[in-house]
Amino acid sequence: MSDRLIIFDTTLRDGEQSPGASMTRDEKVRIAKLLERMRVDVIEAGFPIASKGDFESVKAVAEVVKDSIVCALARATDKDIDRAAEAIKPANAGRIHTFLATSPIHMQEKLRMQPGQVLELAVKAVKRARQYTDNVEFSPEDAGRSEPEFLCQVIEAVIDAGANTINIPDTVGYNMPHQFGDLIAHLMNNIPNADKAIFSVHCHNDLGLAVANSLAAVMNGARQVECTINGLGERAGNASLEEIVMAVRTRQDVFPCDSKLDTTQIVPASKLVSNITGFPVQPNKAVVGANAFAHESGIHQDGVIKKRETYEIMRAEDVGWSANRMVLGKHSGRNAFKTRLAELGVEFKTDAELNSAFSRFKDLADKKHEIFDDDLQALVTEAGLEHGNEIYQLVAMQAKSKTGDKPEASISLTVEGTEKQASSDGGGQVDAAFRAIEKIAASNSKLLLYSVNNITTGTDSQGEVTVRLERKGRIVNGQGADTDIVIASAKAYINALNRLELSERRAHPQKTDTI
């Protein structure tokens, strides 16, 4: 059995299925480049049939990524598979991942198909995908609740049809680690052609067991793990990449394999994904939480000073905690700015884009002495949507408060190029600013979440604001960053409004009305 653990990252596909986490094409490309730099083996870039935007995003990732396999998801239908194949055409190495549910509840209630039909359709889908690429993955969806004997039949048939990766999803996060480990061992020991495929797992975190289940599967022979940065994903999320990779790397005395990941890219990737999606990382999150290497108690601090290993099982620098370098300042030129952003995976398509980002950088450098990588990432994310697509743009704003008086805000926005102004009072300056914006936009949306984080430390740090809006069931997150948190809040609200206007109605992969 191989001693290589393949890391399949699905942040851009399953991660994006988290309500409000949808990403633009350029954002996906930024994340994909960082995943490639991290040496992730397979990047699942999206679900091309979902919408034109999803198709374009997968294609754009396939065009720029050279060292990782770029994968596209497809239901077991001809049109899904053909569209996935088209999207990954530019890739150096492309994979089609097709799936069909095999659990009794999914077959009866969702697909309304007999097991025989499911088996036939799965084989047909794999054969079709093989016409486009020799790298085909098949997932029996809801495998964790499927009958093992039926799973064996389906898997044997799809391997014969040409699937070379078999992914076992615990779609609803129902399994216990020992049970899931046993299932993997059972499949690998009982399917006659099991040696012709790599066994993979894809675990959801509904009971908080996604990482434990994935690791149990690895101990029982799985050699690909599907995971996401920060554990992002449908409902409670997927297994988190950083936890899987560091568990396996740290406990080489236990695991019979290891990934080839450059773990120093983990924290930058975590911050980038959090920054782009607006999903904050909880401070006590393993590996990437702000407190993951912080020692509060005096006894622990004393131990760590005497010998780090007394309380630390990993080195902070090995997962990239030192990567947030102070890079630029007030006197840095355009070239230094461009070069550092290129190192962070951000390239400007036109001089106009570079100039506008550089002028935002100069404004920031006037207010903030030291500019860190995280500041640069926020600066680029803030520009956010594909250039020129913004319906609303902030021109200027003013907010004031005085003890005993009602706070007020005035705002000036362009709406499709036409400047409009409004003022309002409110419970605080942020509330007043949002009310003023709504007087102009009348978006009819509901504010679901408002959160502020500091990007770096110190009172001159930029505040990074996330605003989550919902309209007619569609949820978007907007981000804004500024050293002034009221301005950051207004930018985030405007960013969310723009995303709401631009968000497309997309097909969901697990909705099968078209099969």
Binding site for ligand KIV (CB under 6 A): 14, 99, 139, 141, 169, 171, 202, 204, 509
The footprint of Zn ion on residues 260-319 (CB under 5 A) is none
Which residue's CB is nearer to ligand KIV, number 46 or number 509? 509
The span of 14-22, 103-111, 428-436, 468-476 binding Zn ion (CB under 5 A) equals 14-22
The least distance separating Zn ion from the CB of residue 202, rounded to whole angstroms, comes to: 6
Under a CB-based contact definition with an 8 Å cutoff, are residues 469 and 478 in contact? yes
Q: How far is the CB of 322 from Zn ion (least distance, A)?
A: 33
Burial class (CB in 10 A: 0-12, 13-18, 19+), 237: buried
- Helix (H) / strand (E) containing 202: strand 198-203
Between the two ends of the chain, the Cα-to-Cα distance in Å is 37
Minimum CB separation of residue 226 from Zn ion in Å reads 8
Task: State which residue, 204 or 499, has the beta carbon closest to ligand KIV.
Answer: 204
Question: 141 touches which of ligand KIV, Zn ion, none (CB within 5 to 8 A by kind)?
Answer: ligand KIV
Nearer of residues 100 and 346 to ligand KIV, judged by Cβ:
100
CB 148 within 8 A of CB 183: yes
Alpha-carbon span 73 to 53, nearest angstrom: 14
Distance of CA 368 to the CA centre of its chain: 29
Centroid of chain to Cα 135? 23
Cβ(70)–Cβ(61) below 8 Å: yes
Q: Write down the least CB distance from residue 330 to ligand KIV, Å.
A: 47
What residues contact 306, with CB distance under 8 A and at least 6 apart?
none
Tokens found for residue 230 = 């920060």
| Residue with the CB atom nearest Zn ion in the bound state | 14
- Residue 137 contact partner, candidates Zn ion, ligand KIV, none, CB within 5 to 8 A by sort of partner: none
Residues 6 or more apart whose CB falls under 8 angstroms from that of 260 comprise: 4, 39, 41
Residue whose token pair is 């102070």: 326
**Binding range to Zn ion, per CB under 5 A, among 13-21, 78-86, 249-257, 302-310:** 13-21
Nearer to ligand KIV, 55 or 99 (CB): 99
| Minimum distance from residue 143 beta carbon to ligand KIV (Å) | 8
Q: How far is the CB of 240 from Zn ion (least distance, A)?
A: 13
Angle between helices 351-367 and 334-343 (to 10 degrees): 100
Considering beta carbons, is residue 268 or 509 the nearer one to ligand KIV?
Answer: 509
- Closer Cβ to ligand KIV, 226 or 242, answer by number: 226
- Applying CB under 5 A, the span of 12-20, 138-146, 316-324, 453-461 interacting with Zn ion comes to 12-20
Binding segment toward Zn ion, per CB under 5 A, in 10-18, 68-76, 189-197, 421-429: 10-18
Among ligand KIV, Zn ion, none, partner that 361 touches (CB below 5 to 8 angstroms by kind) = none
Give min distance, CB of 76 to ligand KIV, in A.
11
Within 13 Å, how many C-alpha atoms sit on residue 402's CB side? 1
* Residue written as token pair 């509904």: 206
Least separation in angstroms between residue 206's CB and Zn ion is: 11
Cβ closest to ligand KIV, residue 85 vs residue 101? 101
DSSP string for residues in 103-137? SHHIIIIII---HHHHHHHHHHHHHHHHHH-S-EE
Q: Of Zn ion, ligand KIV, none, which one sits near residue 139, judging by CB under 5 to 8 A according to partner kind?
A: ligand KIV
DSSP assigned state of 285: -
Nearer to ligand KIV, 103 or 479 (CB): 103
Give me the least distance between CB of 269 and ligand KIV, in Å please: 20
Q: Which stretch binds Zn ion (CB under 5 A): 9-17, 30-38, 75-83, 330-338?
A: 9-17
- Please count the other Cβ atoms lying within 10 Å of the Cβ belonging to residue 394: 18
Length in residues, the chain = 515
Task: Quote the least distance from Cβ 509 to ligand KIV, whole Å.
Answer: 5
Of 22 and 462, which CB lies nearer to ligand KIV in the complex structure?
Answer: 22
Name, in order, each residue with C-beta under 8 angstroms of 136's C-beta and a sequence gap of 6 or more.
95, 96, 97, 98, 126, 129, 130, 162, 163, 164, 165
Q: Is 14 in the site for Zn ion (CB under 5 A)?
A: yes
Please give the C-alpha separations between residue 472 and each of 57, 185, 316, 445, in angstroms, as whole numbers.
25, 45, 43, 8
**Nearer to Zn ion among residue 226 and residue 375 (C-beta):** 226
Q: Which does 509 bind (CB under 5 to 8 A by kind): ligand KIV, Zn ion, none?
A: ligand KIV
List of residues contacting Zn ion (CB under 5 A): 14
